[in-house]
Amino acid sequence: MKSGNHMKVMKFGGTSVGSPQRMKEVARLFQPAPGEQTFVVLSAMSGTTNSLVEIADYLYRKNTEGASNVINKLEQKYLDHVEELYATPAFREKMLQFLHEKFDYLRSFTEDLTNFGTAEEKMILAQGEIISTTMVANYLQEQGQHALLLSALDLVRTGENGEPDFNFIREATVKRLRENPDYDIYITQGFICRNARGEVDNLQRGGSDYTACLIGAALMTEEIQIWTDIDGMHNNDPRVVEHTEPVRQLHFEEAAELAYFGAKILHPTCIQPAKFAGVPVRLLNTMDPAAPGTLINNDLQRGTIKAVAAKDNITCIQIQSSRMLLAYGFLRKVFEIFEQCQTSIDMICTSEVGVSVTIDNRTRLTEIVNELKKYGTVEVDENMCIVCVVGDLASGNVGFETQACMALQDIPVRMISYGGSHYNISFLVKADDKKRTLQTLSDTLFKKR
């Protein structure tokens, strides 16, 4: 094993390995520079995890026929890939057998549904990544590459609290590489892991980015590359706004704010381990591998606004009460209600006689509102949207709040939040006003700097 600074982690998402053709294309990118090594983390082929979720849903409902239909369709798709991906009869034979075994395993869940539960569901969900990595690793081996497949079930574990057990991950990964030092390319599954009880589990949907960042941080690699099929992060949502531009560099905190606020390119929690280990994360585009992408590291470009992002489907709840005036403990009572209802609050604004909060999970809205009514007059606004401006916005950098607010002079703004972090100002607007809010912020903040 070379030291971490001679290694890169490269993570490829579902569409990047979405067909045999795409697998062959991305496999070319794995090749390390002389004297270096690559650690590749792969998602399941696009659509597969959704199909596996569907299979589990049928099995929860005891509908074996529904489950079998999805399994058969998925199997056929994979069998068709074998011919396209492998050139030699030996590898074709080996992979057909592997796939038959995997799909027979999936079918075995349909045979006895008496104990079907979350543990079984997770074993089903894990198969997408197990299949994609085995296919790619065998393709590389057929091509004569010096590549080794490692099981993420041995490398990644969560602790009692359900969070990744970083010490375990570091020890296990370092140990496996020490035992197998001389490969050019290591491959493992994103997303899947074992939990504290040793059962197959996962890091939640979209969790492959998280795996890549955990492994990169564990090995202190030179860089963690997240390959998708867009050209890095943009300074606004290109689907909504005209004239967006790629952002070349972000501070870890700026990236975390953006990831949460709907810049879907990166799993929100995943960059924490990279940030703590100080390993830079680079977002790259498989469709344009030479493009510079977006680099996320600990550098802060002073006094620069980087991007605007929006989060949809926000509900705003306002509680007004004269009892709040000069009282203490009022906010605690309000927050306790949200805590009891396991609903997290995103934005908060308070005045002396009222408080407004936003939530994005409405499942327990009625219960929350009924409880809050004990303490004041409650008003609910649905179909709202949080628009956030991200950059170096510490209070010493005068003028940025004014610029952002001026841009919104014609838009009814429901809430403004500034000062919660050094990197963000958030505005709550009606969903109907989202497009023009984003556009006017882009036009004002990013006009030819």
Q: Interface with ligand ASP by CB under 6 A: which residues? A: 13-14, 43-44, 49, 128, 190-191, 205-208
Determine, following the binding rule CB under 5 A, whether residue 216 of this chain makes contact with Mg ion: no
Closer by beta carbon to ligand ASP, 124 or else 389: 124
**Which of ligand ASP, Mg ion, none binds 205 (CB below 5-8 Å, type-dependent)?**
ligand ASP
Count of chain residues binding Mg ion (CB under 5 A): 2
* 286 or 343: CB nearest ligand ASP: 286
Pairing, β 185-189 against β 147-149: parallel
Residue 207, contacted partner among ligand ASP, Mg ion, none, CB below 5-8 A by kind: ligand ASP
Binding span for Mg ion by CB under 5 A among 8-16, 96-104, 138-146, 194-202: 8-16
Q: Is residue 20 involved in binding Mg ion (CB under 5 A)?
A: no
Our CB check for ligand ASP shows the closer of 44 and 408 to be: 44
Side-chain-facing half-sphere of 130: CA atoms under 13 Å: 22
Stretch that binds Mg ion, among 7-15, 52-60, 171-179, 425-433 (CB under 5 A): 7-15
Question: Which residue number, 57 or 381, has a Cβ lying nearer to ligand ASP?
Answer: 57
Between 16 and 437, name the residue whose CB sits nearer to ligand ASP: 16
- Closest contact distance (angstroms) between CB of 444 and ligand ASP is 35
Closest residue to Mg ion, judged by C-beta, is 13
Is residue 128 close enough to count as binding Mg ion by CB under 5 A? no
206 binds Mg ion (CB under 5 A): yes
Residue 280 binds what, of ligand ASP, Mg ion, none (CB under 5 to 8 Å, by partner type)?
A: none
Query: In the stretch 65-104, what mask flags binding to Mg ion with x, by CB under 5 A?
Result: ----------------------------------------
For residue 38, the minimal CB distance to Mg ion (Å) is 19
Give the range of 15-23, 206-214, 254-262, 435-443 binding Mg ion by CB under 5 A: 206-214
Query: Contact between 13 and Mg ion (CB under 5 A)?
Result: yes
Radius of gyration of the chain (CA): 24
Provide, rounded to whole angstroms, the least separation between the CB of residue 128 and ligand ASP.
Answer: 5
Structure tokens at 282: 């680079």
Considering beta carbons, is residue 13 or 293 the nearer one to ligand ASP? 13
Structural contact between residues 389 and 404, judged by C-beta atoms closer than 8 angstroms: yes
Please identify, using beta-carbon distances, which residue of 125 and 316 lies nearer to ligand ASP.
Answer: 125
**From the CB of 205, what's the least distance to Mg ion, in Å?**
8
Which of residues 14 and 280 has its CB atom nearest to ligand ASP in the complex? 14
Residue 190 CB, nearest distance to Mg ion (Å)? 8
Per-residue H/E/C for the chain: CCCHHHEEEEEECCHHHCCHHHHHHHHHHHCCCCCCEEEEEECCCCCHHHHHHHHHHHHHCCCHHHHHHHHHHHHHHHHHHHHHHCCCHHHHHHHHHHHHHHHHHHHHHHHCCCCCCHHHHHHHHCHHHHHHHHHHHHHHHHCCCCEEECCHHHHCEECCCCCECHHHHHHHHHHHHHHCCCCCEEEEECCEEECCCCCEEECCCCCHHHHHHHHHHHHCCCEEEEEECCCCCECCCCCCCCCCCECCEEEHHHHHHHHHCCCCCCCCCCHHHHHHHCCCEEEEECCCCCCCCEEEECCCCCCCEEEEEEEEEEEEEEEECHHHCCCCCHHHHHHHHHHHCCCCEEEEEECCCEEEEEECCCCCHHHHHHHHCCCCEEEEEEEEEEEEEEECCCCCCCCHHHHHHHHCCCCCCCEEEECCCCCEEEEEEEHHHHHHHHHHHHHHHCCCC
Stretch that binds Mg ion, among 5-13, 187-195, 240-248, 328-336 (CB under 5 A): 5-13
Q: Which residues bind Mg ion (CB under 5 A)?
A: 13, 206
